[in-house]
């Protein structure tokens, strides 16, 4: 058996225990010793535990914003990138942003949700989103994704209960690495996050959703959470806001989500709707949206119906830099939500957290490498009416 001093350091970041044990075996390290090192890294937060060693991206920025439940924290990790497309502007790094969101549920228990990034920038081009203004720089590796959890858990020293892939990037554009990261994060010898506490969000890549349909039928994956960023009530409006709709329209999205609901045992699909004044917030929009949601409403005629098949999250728009739209008023949000409820839609009104630090939904992005010039935006303050993440 090899001595500890003779073995080159091996990083378990982004790996399952089994994968790490196999890699260690190739270096002559026994399974018991490898498991102990793996648990030291993930459970105890030790970056060095022979034969393992991890190197974490430097945290270069950190912002806090007090909210009713505690403090929302955005931290920025910096990765070197000597091949950056903006090297001529002196930019040879990639910044990835993550947000820790405190929440208090109906039981009164305080939890923390970590919003992770899967890419640097994004190629989807959604007009309302700050990240989209950067364009796509590159996708992250499973190791770089898991490093965001490690920093939140062991540098910020916060117990992370839930993980949502709702940060920078489109997870379905980087699905192999996202799924590998989830395998690592759910490993019971490591981070041990329950599969039911992890959610992947997508703008509507149906090819990716078909892969997810296959994946959730594998052992241990059935309870993976899914969210669709819809943001419009008809194809014309959605295609203007979200170019992806020109390839896969709302009927195709509705169809694949119904298929996913069936193979996931009826587990709810989360539908995200960013409410933008003058764009998608009229009562007509609410009526159209309710009609689209109809297949996901509770059907009393179905014998085995367990309730609503879809939860609609209404998210008040958080203005990006140089935004052409303001945040909606409370009256606009209330009127839209009330109209949906009158149609029997299961609606949750998202509370705004992190808007002042550009940490709220749709606001993540590196100003230095975005396509457009930074222009400060006057942002409305949201009253804290309901409890939910970002």
pLDDT tens for residues 340-357?
999 999 999 877 644 454
DSSP class of residue 282 equals S
In-domain check, residue 167: yes
d(CA 308, CA 315): 19
Residue stretches of the chain with pLDDT short of 50: 1-2, 303, 305, 353-355, 357-360, 362-365, 369-390
Residues 43 and 159 in one domain: no
Q: Which 3-state string (H, E, C) describes 215-247?
A: HCCCCCCCCCEEEEECCCCCHHHHHHHCHHHHC
Is there a single domain that holds both residue 284 and residue 243?
A: yes
Is 67 within 8 Å of 112 (Cβ atoms)? no
- Residue 138 in any domain: the answer is yes
**Does residue 378 belong to any structural domain of this protein?**
no
Beta-sheet strands, E only, within 36-151:
48-49, 52-53, 58-67, 70-80, 93-104, 110-115, 119-121, 136-139
- Quick one: pLDDT at residue 192? 98
Report whether 72 contacts 357 (CB < 8 A).
yes
| Domain identity same for 45 and 182 | no
Q: How many CA atoms lie within 13 A of 72 on its CB side?
A: 23
For residue 383, is it within any domain? no
> DSSP characters for 12-51?
-TT--HHHHHHHHHTTT--HHHHHHHHHHHHTS--SEETT
What is the pLDDT at residue 258? 93
Does residue 389 form part of some domain?
no
Residue 377 lies in a domain: no
Same domain for 166 and 43, yes or no, is no
What is the reported pLDDT for 5? 53
* 376 in a structural domain: no
β-pairing, 225-229 with 269-275? parallel
What's the pLDDT at 127? 86
- 200: enclosing H helix or E strand: strand 198-202
Q: H/E element holding 164?
A: strand 162-165
Residue 211 and residue 262 share a domain: yes
pLDDT score for 17: 98
237 and 91 in a common domain = yes
Q: In sequence order, what are the beta bridge partners of 104?
A: 110
Residue positions annotated with a catalytic role: 361
Do both 10 and 118 map to the same domain?
A: no
Residues 355/99, Cβ–Cβ less than 8 Å: no
Handedness of CA 135, 361, 78, 35 (dihedral sign): negative
Tally of domains in the chain: 2
305 and 343 assigned to the same domain: yes
Q: What is the pLDDT of residues 213-245, one digit of tens each?
A: 999 999 999 999 999 999 999 999 999 999 999
Q: What is the pLDDT of residue 383?
A: 30
**DSSP, res 188:** T
The pLDDT value recorded for residue 107 is 83
Beta-carbon count within 10 A of 380 CB? 17
Domain of 15 in residue numbering reads as 4-49
Say if 83 falls within a structural domain.
Answer: yes
């Amino acid at each position: 058996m090899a001595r500890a001093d003779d073995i080159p350091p091996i990083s378990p970041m982004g790996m399952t225990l089994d994968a790490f044990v196999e890699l260690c075996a190739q270096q002559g390290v026994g399974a018991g010793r490898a498991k102990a090192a793996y648990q030291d890294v993930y459970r105890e937060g030790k970056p060095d535990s022979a034969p393992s060693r991890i190197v974490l991206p430097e945290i270069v920025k950190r912002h806090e914003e007090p909210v009713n439940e505690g403090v929302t924290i955005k931290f920025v990790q910096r990765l070197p990138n000597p091949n950056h497309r903006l090297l001529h502007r002196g930019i040879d790094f990639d910044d990835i942003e993550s947000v820790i969101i405190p929440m208090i549920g109906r039981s009164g228990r305080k939890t923390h949700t970590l919003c992770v990034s899967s890419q640097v920038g994004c190629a989807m081009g959604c007009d309302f989103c700050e990240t989209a203004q950067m364009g796509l720089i590159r996708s992250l590796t499973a190791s770089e994704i898991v490093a965001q959890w490690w920093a939140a858990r062991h540098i910020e020293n916060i117990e992370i209960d839930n993980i949502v892939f709702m940060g920078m990037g489109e997870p379905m554009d980087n699905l192999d690495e996202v799924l590998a990261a989830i395998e690592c994060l759910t490993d019971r010898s490591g981070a041990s996050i329950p599969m039911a506490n992890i959610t992947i969000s997508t703008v509507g890549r149906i090819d990716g959703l078909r892969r997810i349909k296959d994946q959730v039928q594998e052992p241990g994956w059935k309870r993976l959470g899914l969210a669709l960023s819809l943001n419009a009530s008809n194809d014309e409006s959605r295609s203007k806001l979200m170019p992806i709709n020109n390839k896969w329209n709302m009927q195709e999205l509705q169809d694949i989500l119904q298929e996913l609901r069936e193979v996931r045992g009826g587990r709810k699909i989360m539908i995200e709707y960013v409410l933008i004044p003058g764009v998608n917030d009229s009562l007509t929009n609410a009526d159209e949206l309710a009609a689209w949601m109809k297949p996901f409403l509770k059907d009393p005629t179905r014998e085995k119906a367990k309730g609503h098949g879809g939860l609609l999250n209404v998210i008040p728009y958080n203005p990006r830099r140089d935004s052409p739209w303001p945040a909606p008023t409370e009256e606009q949000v209330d009127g839209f939500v009330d109209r949906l409820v009158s149609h029997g839609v299961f609606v949750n009104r998202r509370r705004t957290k992190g808007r002042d630090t550009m940490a709220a939904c749709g606001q993540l992005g590196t100003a230095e490498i975005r396509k457009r010039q930074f222009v400060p935006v006057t942002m409305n303050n949201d009253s804290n009416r309901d409890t939910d993440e970002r």
